[in-house]
């Protein structure tokens, strides 16, 4: 009966060993005991709370950290010792907690000080001893000093502050003098009554810029005198030779004319007064 059996093709199926192995793999997740989890959180909270209490207790609540005495850096006082400035700093930090004023409120305190004393660049507060703080004040470098007889003033951002003879912040800074007819104003200039009239005709940025330009173009000048209310500056080349410039007009044009006058006028050395722009821009007044 062999002829009744029909032969069929047989294809051997390949076994997927990877699938079989994966099916055998069983993921086991750790069982977390919620009571242990909350216990750990509670322990960490207790540690953090104790650390926070320790920090606060040794900073805020410690009596010796409250400032009762203030010592100012000798270098700061020698540089500039405006009494109103140091009084304001004392009012802001005295009887306050050292860590609060030196860490948390320093930027606020500095902003308050700079609103009245813009020459202050930064302050550094250090706890030098119990109940005591040492303060160092850093200042910006003055751009220009105005001298009125025997008094000197620091002009900065439409403010002026007197510099005393024992201060050294003006060392190496060139100064501009005011004329003798303004001497009566010297007694009235105080911290609360500044040199506002100085910038009646020109603004402070232009005033400072003009003075710097004139100091560069006349490096050997003897005196530089600004005349308020007329917007003119007198450059004393020597005691007997003066050059007048008009600050309301172009200094470049006036300096160019001065150089041309010295170059082409054969009697330029004998001139005692040179007025570069008192009347018209096309006229130069000279006097021997």
**254 plus 149 within the same structural domain:** yes
Does 229 fall in a domain? yes
**155 plus 254 within the same structural domain:** yes
**95 plus 157 within the same structural domain:** no
CB distance 226 to 212 below 8 Å: no
Q: How far is CA 122 from the centre of its chain?
A: 7
Distance from C-alpha of 215 to C-alpha of 209, rounded to nearest angstrom:
10
| Domain ranges, residue 235 | 145-287
Give the number of other Cβ atoms within 10 Å of residue 287's Cβ.
9
Per-residue confidence of the chain (288 residues) as pLDDT tens digits? Answer: 444 555 555 555 555 554 555 555 555 555 555 567 776 776 677 667 656 665 565 566 677 888 999 999 999 999 999 888 999 999 999 998 888 888 888 999 999 999 989 899 999 999 888 889 999 999 998 888 888 878 888 887 767 788 888 999 988 888 899 887 776 665 555 554 556 667 777 888 888 889 889 988 998 899 999 988 888 899 999 888 999 999 888 888 889 889 988 888 888 888 898 898 765 556 778 887
**162 plus 280 within the same structural domain:** yes
Distance from C-alpha of 113 to C-alpha of 121, rounded to nearest angstrom:
10
**91 plus 200 within the same structural domain:** no
Distance from C-alpha of 273 to C-alpha of 239, rounded to nearest angstrom:
11
Does 17 fall in a domain? no
pLDDT of residue 192: 47
Number of domains in the chain: 2
Tokens of 263: 């170059």
Query: 21 — phi, psi (to 5°)?
Result: -70, -40
Sign of CA dihedral 211, 216, 217, 223: positive
């Amino acid at each position: 009966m062999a002829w009744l059996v029909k032969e069929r093709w047989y294809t051997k199926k390949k076994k997927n060993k990877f699938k079989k192995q994966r099916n055998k793999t069983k993921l086991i997740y750790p069982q977390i005991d919620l009571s242990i989890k909350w216990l750990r959180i509670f322990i960490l909270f207790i540690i953090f709370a104790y650390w926070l209490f320790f920090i606060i207790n040794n900073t805020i609540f410690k009596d010796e950290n409250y400032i009762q005495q203030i010592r100012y850096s000798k270098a700061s006082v020698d540089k500039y010792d405006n009494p109103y400035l140091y009084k304001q700093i004392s009012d802001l930090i005295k009887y306050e907690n050292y860590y609060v004023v030196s860490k948390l409120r320093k930027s606020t305190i500095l902003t308050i000080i700079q609103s009245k004393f813009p020459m202050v660049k930064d302050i550094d507060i250090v706890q030098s001893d119990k109940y005591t703080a040492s303060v160092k004040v850093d200042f910006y470098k003055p751009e220009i000093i105005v001298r009125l007889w025997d008094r000197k003033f620091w002009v900065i951002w439409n403010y002026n502050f007197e510099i005393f003879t024992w201060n050294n912040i003006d060392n190496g800074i060139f100064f501009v003098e005011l004329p003798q007819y303004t001497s009566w104003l010297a007694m009235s200039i105080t911290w609360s009554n500044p040199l506002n009239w100085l910038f009646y005709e020109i603004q402070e940025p232009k005033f400072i810029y003009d003075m710097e330009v004139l100091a560069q173009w006349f490096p050997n000048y003897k005196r530089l005198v600004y005349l308020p209310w007329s917007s003119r500056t007198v450059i004393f080349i020597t005691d007997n030779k003066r050059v007048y410039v008009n600050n309301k007009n172009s200094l470049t044009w006036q300096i160019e004319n001065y150089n041309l006058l010295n170059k082409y006028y054969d009697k330029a050395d004998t001139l005692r007064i040179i007025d570069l722009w008192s009347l018209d821009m096309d006229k130069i007044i000279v006097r021997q």
